[in-house]
Amino acid sequence: MRRSRAILTVLTAAAVTAGGFLTLTQAANAATTLGSAAAAKSRYFGTAVAAYKLTDSVYTGLLDTQFTMVTPENEMKWDATEPSQNTFSYTSADTIVARAKANGQRVRGHALAWHSQQPSWVASLSGTALRSAMVNHITNVATHYKGQLYAWDVVNEAFSDNGDGSRRSSNLQATGNDWIEVAFQTARAADPSAKLCYNDYNTDGVNAKSTAVYTMVKDFLARGVPIDCVGFQSHFNSASPLPSDYQANLQRFADLGVEVQITELDIAGSGTAQADSYSKVVAACLAVSKCTGISVWGIRDSDSWRASDTPLLFDASGNPKEAYNAVITAFGGTTTTSSPTTSSSPTTGTGACTATVANNSWTGGFVTTVTVKAGATAITSWKVALTLPTGSAVTSTWSATASGSSGALTFTNASYNGSLAAGASTSFGFQGTGTAFSGTPTCTVS
């Protein structure tokens, strides 16, 4: 019933428009954002968030509409939260947590104990002084966020890459081999409700490093050391590609009884190859019932710690990439695409623009993506007008400025996407409640 109504909506939208464009729409189920598509499969879809970007409306527009889980990218690390010994600083992390809560998003805490991004005062410590400092740090930070986090990466990157399954040598490791279990016990005592995870990279396939982690988790479970989950960072590039035994590796950890999470996903590349790898990651998580969710390590390519790899799901302007559609499709969500099927130029005149819409609709809501295309000559600004159906309202807009939230609306270009070469296009989007607009909007240049 629900499905047939969705298909009907889609067919209504698939009409030959006045400008001679055919809107092609592919029907699927109703989930239409990363978060809602994952939620339809009982998974979360998260992202790393940087506090200093929360004033960027393109960034927050995508964050608020697409993601259901948030990981502070740097703000909960030891150097950020305890810049001098026993003096704690939570302002940036608190901002991220409060904002996520207000938007109904959950938070993964990252990371309590790690060899990297330690404050400088830690370098002068060793032995029992360092062990006590670590315990004090974990107790304070986990207590500060007690009851507020979905999970903590308690220990990050504690194993070496040298192929013998050994521990990474670090100042923390030098305090004794039991530092990891002490970290987990301390975190559990401070916040019994957060899931406690071990998180690492190059552990995505079956290899000596992941097997060493596996052995540790198995031992912890056998001895009653508290551990609930294992995070797989999943930073992939040509030197470290998505392994073919990714799913099998996730499954062997799940079979121990812990949850598995994909915690920092990014995949260098572009186009279909990149999209295919993203699909495979989603499929692997869906095939493992204890895989509870996926987080990407940033929103737009330009937000990535490896920006030159263009490894994320949105381009620098915030437009969804092929990989974005692949992720939604892999979750079984709606992939609604609109594209001109004729090569004839728009007939609206020299210097003009045209606009076409693509809708992802579900019962009670929608995401509309509007493609704005310049006519025969370049333009430097554009304005798109459309009238929303009665009772519908826009709740957020990205890559354009909306004149209001209901009825007759105009959307004006953002500062970075008003200029289009002849025949070039850009897109903006908005999310709303009610029924989507499904006609052809008016596009004007000023």
368 binds ligand XIL (CB under 6 A): no
Beta bridge partners of residue 87, listed in sequence order: 84
Given the complex with ligand XIL, which of 73 and 309 has the nearer CB atom?
Answer: 73
Q: Which residues contact 134 (CB under 8 A, 6 or more apart)?
A: 113, 172, 175, 179, 182, 183
Whole-number minimum distance, CB 246 to ligand XIL, in Å? 18
Given the complex with ligand XIL, which of 90 and 305 has the nearer CB atom?
Answer: 305
Beta bridge partners of residue 359, listed in sequence order: 368
Q: Is 413 exposed, middle or buried (0-12, 13-18, 19+ CB in 10 A)?
A: buried
Q: How is residue 307 written in tokens?
A: 């920006």
Residue tagged active-site, from 82, 181, 259, 264: 264
74 binds ligand XIL (CB under 6 A): yes
Binding mask 54-73 for ligand XIL (x = CB under 6 A): -------------------x
264 tagged catalytic: yes
Q: Which of 88, 90, 121, 305 binds ligand XIL (CB under 6 A)?
A: 305
Is residue 247 within 8 Å of 253, Cβ to Cβ?
A: no
Residue nearest to ligand XIL (CB): 305
Residue tagged active-site, from 73, 82, 157, 181: 157
Q: Which residue has the tokens 């909506």?
A: 9
What angle, 0 to 180 degrees and rounded to 10, lies between the N-to-C axes of helices 271-287 and 322-330? Answer: 20
Site size toward ligand XIL (CB under 6 A) is: 6
301 binds ligand XIL (CB under 6 A): no
State which amino acid sits at residue 176.
G
Given the complex with ligand XIL, which of 197 and 328 has the nearer CB atom?
Answer: 197
Given the complex with ligand XIL, which of 264 and 301 has the nearer CB atom?
Answer: 264
Binding mask 193-232 for ligand XIL (x = CB under 6 A): ----------------------------------------
- Three-class SS of residue 287? helix
233 binds ligand XIL (CB under 6 A): yes
Whole-number minimum distance, CB 204 to ligand XIL, in Å? 13
Whole-number minimum distance, CB 212 to ligand XIL, in Å? 18
Is residue 295 within 8 Å of 265, Cβ to Cβ?
A: yes
Q: How is residue 114 written in tokens?
A: 């790690």
Whole-number minimum distance, CB 48 to ligand XIL, in Å? 6
309 binds ligand XIL (CB under 6 A): no
What angle, 0 to 180 degrees and rounded to 10, lies between the N-to-C axes of helices 271-287 and 246-256? Answer: 20
How many angstroms separate the CA atoms of 228 and 286, rounded?
19
Q: Which residue has the tokens 């279909």?
A: 272
Q: Are strands 259-267 and 235-236 parallel, antiparallel or unpaired?
A: parallel
118 binds ligand XIL (CB under 6 A): no
How many angstroms separate the CA atoms of 432 and 105, rounded?
18
259 binds ligand XIL (CB under 6 A): no
Q: Which of 82, 259, 264, 303 binds ligand XIL (CB under 6 A)?
A: 264
Other residues' Cβ atoms within 10 Å of the Cβ of residue 224: 9
75 binds ligand XIL (CB under 6 A): no
Q: Are strands 291-296 and 365-374 parallel, antiparallel or unpaired?
A: unpaired
156 binds ligand XIL (CB under 6 A): yes
How many angstroms separate the CA atoms of 299 and 218, rounded?
34
- Three-class SS of residue 386? strand
Given the complex with ligand XIL, which of 233 and 368 has the nearer CB atom?
Answer: 233
Q: How is residue 336 written in tokens?
A: 């609604």
Given the complex with ligand XIL, which of 83 and 407 has the nearer CB atom?
Answer: 83
Is residue 293 within 8 Å of 260, Cβ to Cβ?
A: no
Whole-number minimum distance, CB 265 to ligand XIL, in Å? 11
396 binds ligand XIL (CB under 6 A): no
Whole-number minimum distance, CB 167 to ligand XIL, in Å? 17
157 tagged catalytic: yes
Applying CB under 6 A, the residues found at the interface with ligand XIL are: 73-74, 156, 233, 264, 305
- The residues annotated as belonging to the active site are 157, 264
